[in-house]
Chain A
């Protein structure tokens, strides 16, 4: 149970600030953790967001990880940027790197030794998530300064799974670079679906049911589905209640459950399209009165950065 937000701008702009304000306006929907999936200017190499679980010993872990990266044929293309909040029990790092192999292998290289969580991998996607309310997380990670084309935000009210950084949203759809999801609701076929996907070799890093959506979509795309088709299929294959947003390098998509249990409001504004669990979140950024759409149950939408919109009730 949570609040979700998304925004897609016609021109690159302050997506970080927009999403931070949208999340802050939905503070009452959850303060256990907050997270953002932000899309900046795409680069040739990969941008990786990492979290070292323990503030002591992270330097060594980072060294080891860089050695491992170089042994696998990859390399850093810039110095890592690090979050050095001395009060925090953990450390966050942003790496820019090249890697010759598939992203899945990169994930093994980076996180294989433990102690490290990959928050995202992409050419433009950067996921930042942390414990606390929207303002705390945005301030700590400088979210408001982030400029880009689009992104997602999430405030979490933990339900059945624990409150932990890795359990927060957005979830990166490993191993797909640049794909992330945020979800409001709960899935009632999580354990069974998870077992089936694990049997097929997928990895789950948390016990949060929403992670299933990311892995499910990754699997369907791996099998060659477009992400529009994957969204459509999810309406029938995921059980429970949900309104979720999926983001890729050039689009945001949404899907809603069959019984219209979870809410979503979409507003088209001059600057682009914004969507959130509650209208007041959108108005925290666009204070003027809005033309809004409430997607129907079973509906899927895709808003592309180029302005094209696809929508369907499946």
Chain B
């Protein structure tokens, strides 16, 4: 049989399912570089997702609310259950805030645009790991100050300017490792805020320098409360891994809120294999986190925030139904700003990519001026226009959430429940404990009966 004949489709396709073009390219790159590849954006793996769940609006057993007329409440409070330790809980108009993305990963224009957009929607933004950018503090009505293991720019004054403090234990995009910011983005200003040499490939610590477990963290949280006068909530951000156990330990530290960041979460730079092969998907993480809090009798007392691949109001509504009190979004907001938009196409091509497929945040050459520190590229993003787009997107997101909730007969989005959902895949049912559509049968032991 000849190779170029049509008799053997294997030869004709010339393609192995083991040695795929991606794998071949990856090996060639490693052979060139002498290290693993680093990239931005999210996982390229196909995980069972929130798309595998559908809502059950009211039909005969339940009466829907008027989607275009009747009001559905969206206000959300983070850390509102312990007034003795939190005098000023974080009050949001909507259950969607901006996740941590640093100045450094993003340019200053992007940070400002996001801060304005989220503020107009009555929501909050988060500094990310690079310290507090004065422009962001100025532009954000509610700013969450992040404390990461490397403690870049950690400053008492900034802690006291914050509306909440988020202690990062891990991030869903790359659990178990620290941040990464390649030299192209370590500009003079970024380096100054982080006390780094300009242009180095910054690799952050993964462990905090002065607490090493939930037992010590309890003391750390007390320190932060002492330093900030028991004013603002303290949030722990966890990568979704051993969620049931991790959330229990986190809850016992005395924090006010917990973020569970699923494997679909994005980052501006990570070793590629970590994006694709670490952590568990968001839809599996939320029910496990809820169950952890329930088992401790702390469900509804510690605010549960879900993040990682939340793309729109429907995803957010599903996250709330599964047990989250709030969601945090990142990439969706960047896309609203113009990430992967078909402008400056030649610059995408120069990076070897195209609009819609760009994942080159790590290079600092963002064609649309979002994930860059290059003044020329940054100038492509007008903060005011960006803010308008972000605000529009949030408005649409909330409209989706409330319409879903009202169709399910709810006048508050927080009243969505797992019982309002059905799974349309075996995996989604097994991951979430939500029954399969039609047969109302849960794959596996179900959420409430799972043993340890």
Contacts and interface: CB of A to CB of B under 8 A. Distances in A.
Given A159-B245, A160-B242, A28 B452 contact: no
Interface string A237-271: 00001000000000000000000011100000000
Contacts of B213: 1, 185, 241, 262
A277 B249 CA distance: 18
A28 B220 CA distance: 11
Given A157-B249, A158-B248, A29 B452 contact: no
Contact of A1 (B207, B249, B452): B249
B218 interface: yes
A156 to B, nearest CB: 10
B212 interface: yes
A158 B216 CA distance: 14
A134 B81 CA distance: 27
A3 interface: yes
A242 B215 CA distance: 13
Given A157-B252, A158-B248, A262 B218 contact: no
A157 B250 CA distance: 10
A1 B215 contact: yes
A157 B215 contact: yes
A314 interface: no
A185 B212 CA distance: 9
B212 A184 contact: no
Interface in B425-443: none
Q: How large is the interface on A (under 10, 10 to 19, 20 to 34, 35 or more residues)?
A: 20 to 34
A89 B249 CA distance: 25
Nearest to B214: A1
Contact of A2 (B215, B219, B242, B245): B215
A30 interface: yes
B156 to A, nearest CB: 23
A196 interface: no
B242 A241 contact: no
Contacts of A207: 452
B234 to A, nearest CB: 15
Given A1-B249, A28-B219, A157 B452 contact: no
Contact of A160 (B212, B215, B245, B252): B245
B452 A162 contact: yes
A29 B245 contact: no
Given A1-B249, A28-B219, A157 B212 contact: no
Contacts of B452: 161-162, 207
A296 to B, nearest CB: 16
Interface string B245-276: 10011001000000000000000000000000
Contacts of B219: 28
Interface string A198-216: 0000000001000000000
A159 B212 contact: no
Contacts of B245: 159-160
A263 B216 CA distance: 10
A241 B216 CA distance: 14
B218 A159 contact: no
Contacts of A160: 242, 245
A29 B215 contact: yes
Nearest to A2: B215
Contacts of A241: 212-213
A44 B214 CA distance: 43
Contacts of A2: 215
Q: Tell which of A2, A160, A207, A262 has the most Cβ of chain B within 10 Å.
A: A160
Q: Tell which of B207, B215, B218, B252 has the most Cβ of chain A within 10 Å.
A: B215
A24 B30 CA distance: 54
Ranked 7 nearest A-B pairs via Cβ: A29-B215, A1-B213, A1-B215, A160-B245, A1-B214, A261-B212, A162-B452
12 contacts: A3-B215, A28-B218, A28-B219, A29-B218, A157-B215, A157-B249, A157-B252, A159-B214, A207-B452, A241-B213, A261-B207, A263-B216
Interface of A: 1-3, 28-30, 157-162, 184-185, 207, 241, 261-263, 277
Given A1-B214, A158-B249, A159-B214, 11 more contacts: A2-B215, A3-B215, A28-B218, A29-B215, A30-B215, A157-B215, A160-B242, A160-B245, A161-B452, A162-B452, A261-B207
